[in-house]
């Protein structure tokens, strides 16, 4: 009997899936769509059969990687807020956003191809990112650390602009400087 979509994965299958997704991010980020599926399997330490059992097509893998990276980005907010001041949590999250964009950049052609065939790899991504930014900004406002006249959509637009102009690992330092400039502009001046 085959596992249905609602049936939870065994622990070893879940670990293999996570290893594949983690390896795929690294390989897609460095090699883009030229990355071979066998290379991803090797990087993950699994066989090709395990890779294809989890992700029968390149498109399925790309979409899963994208959604996984988005979930990691957005799910990081509560932990960051628990461990750091709100402003430092926001700053740390923007660095995670750069990691997310860099991974997405390596897969952009595949994501576009999926979208052109009627798929929707982006799903609720904008809403999820706005919710994450809103949580971080609400905490910063409650701490009196950032201006109250800036909206989460403004910050999202700034992050998207930085991502468009500085996507890719070779532009990381510039992107971080632009993030610092943007975050400094949010700070309440006393």
Q: Return the sign of the alpha-carbon dihedral for residues 42, 57, 14, 63.
A: positive
pLDDT category at 20 given cuts 50, 70, 90 is very high
Q: What pLDDT is attached to residue 21?
A: 94
Same domain, 39 and 80: no
Separation between Cα atoms, residue 10 and residue 16, nearest integer Å: 10
Question: For the chain, what is the domain count?
Answer: 2
Q: Residue 25 falls within a domain, yes or no?
A: yes
Asked if pLDDT for residue 143 goes beyond 90, the answer is: yes
Average confidence (pLDDT) over 71-86: 96
| Residue 38: CATH number of its domain | 1.10.10.60
Orientation of helix 86-106 relative to helix 172-186, angle to 10°: 150
For the stretch 82-135, pLDDT in tens is 999 999 999 999 999 988 887 777 777 777 777 777 766 667 888 999 999 999
Q: Residue 2 falls within a domain, yes or no?
A: no
Same domain, 27 and 75: no
Print the domain residue range for 42: 9-56
Q: Residue 138 falls within a domain, yes or no?
A: yes
């Amino acid at each position: 009997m085959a596992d249905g979509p609602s049936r939870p994965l065994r622990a070893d299958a879940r670990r293999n899936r996570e290893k594949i997704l983690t390896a795929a991010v690294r390989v897609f980020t460095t090699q883009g769509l030229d990355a071979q599926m066998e290379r991803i399997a090797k990087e993950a330490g699994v066989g090709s059969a395990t890779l294809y059992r989890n992700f029968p097509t390149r498109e399925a893998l790309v979409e899963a990687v994208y959604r996984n990276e988005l979930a990691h980005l957005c799910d990081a907010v509560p932990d960051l807020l628990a461990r750091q001041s709100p402003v430092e949590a926001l700053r740390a999250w923007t660095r995670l956003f750069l990691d997310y964009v860099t991974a997405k950049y390596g897969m952009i052609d595949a994501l576009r191809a999926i979208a052109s065939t009627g798929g929707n790899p982006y799903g609720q991504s904008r809403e999820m990112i706005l919710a994450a930014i809103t949580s971080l900004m609400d905490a910063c406002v409650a701490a009196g650390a950032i201006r109250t006249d800036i909206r989460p959509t403004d910050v999202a637009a700034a992050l998207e602009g930085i991502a468009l102009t500085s996507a890719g690992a070779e532009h990381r330092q510039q992107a971080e400087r632009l993030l610092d400039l943007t975050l400094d502009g949010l700070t309440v001046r006393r």
